[in-house]
Amino acid sequence: MTRAETLFQTPLLTVAQFDHPKNEVHVDGRIEITPAYAITFLRSGEFRIVRKLGAWDFSPGDVLISYPGMPQRVFHPADGAKDECVGIRFEKDLLEDALGAVPDSRSAAKAGASSRSAFQMRMLFEAVRSKDRMSAEGVALAAAQTFLPQEKNRSDWSSVERSFGWYRVRIQRVCELLMQHYASSHSLTELAEVAQMSPFHLNRVFHYMMGLPLHQYAIRLRIAVAARAIREGQSVTEAAYSVGFNSVSFFSRSFRKHFGMSPRQYREQRISADAPRT
């Protein structure tokens, strides 16, 4: 038996913790159907996931990638199910905000342990502890990049892996500033001073830890908040200025580049989708 406890929830995501009651017997090998898009960080323990396209062994720090409606089997070591996990369940709107579209590739089930997964899991717990919606959704925007094809060569990042604690503190400062003041303009030089790193090095390390370049992440935060505002009824112009864009045309170009449609088309599509059917 798997026990799930909801830690934090917004209309766009649910953060939950998973473990196994000690007095309950967990039966391995049964077919389970994954209910949603989810990224799950393994905190402790081990298990194996078997899907149609292959099998993957998970150890602490690894990340499980789930898609709705996917059958899988779970197997644990001979001494029983002792794994503990924390996961983000994504609503469709948040995935579209993060990636521009809902991911359709279902080949990958695992992202290996790295400083990126450790950093994002720590940031997730910080967001849950603070009960801050923007922080939780900001972490989710980064974690959603796990649905995309993963980097195969991490040799360039060995220094970051070795000095994870040092980098974690500095990148976290930058993330908190961007999440709390997403509508403000921040130069790379300013952010580098906050991180106490050179601008070039900050940009490279941020990309590795968060899954996308710093400037792109800052724009993505703004667009995600603007998209939410449009879904909630704001006009395109109101949404653009409310998140710090000084030009509606630049906002529209950035929005189209990310979503594949203009913000007006997005608004009309949402109005049409939400309209009651007769």
What's this model's pTM, rounded to 2 decimal places?
A: 0.90
Q: Exposed, middle or buried: residue 39 (CB in 10 Å: 0-12, 13-18, 19+)? A: buried
Cα(94)–Cα(37) distance, rounded to whole angstroms?
10
Q: What pLDDT does 278 receive?
A: 53
**What does DSSP say about strands 84-90 and 13-19: parallel, antiparallel, or unpaired?**
antiparallel
Q: What pLDDT does 65 receive?
A: 96
Which two tokens mark 144? 């959603």
92-103 pLDDT, tens digit per residue, is 999 999 999 998
48-83 pLDDT, tens digit per residue, is 999 998 999 999 999 999 999 999 999 999 988 999
The secondary structure of residue 109, as a DSSP letter, is: -
In the predicted structure, residue 155 carries a pLDDT above the cut 60: no
Which domains are delineated in the chain? 1-113 (2.60.120.10), 151-272 (1.10.10.60)
Q: Where residue 154 falls among pLDDT bands split at 50, 70, 90?
A: low
Name the residue among 40, 31, 81 with its Cα closest to residue 61: 40
In the predicted structure, residue 277 carries a pLDDT above the cut 60: no
Q: What pLDDT does 273 receive?
A: 76
In the predicted structure, residue 162 carries a pLDDT above the cut 60: yes
Mean pLDDT along residues 226-243: 95
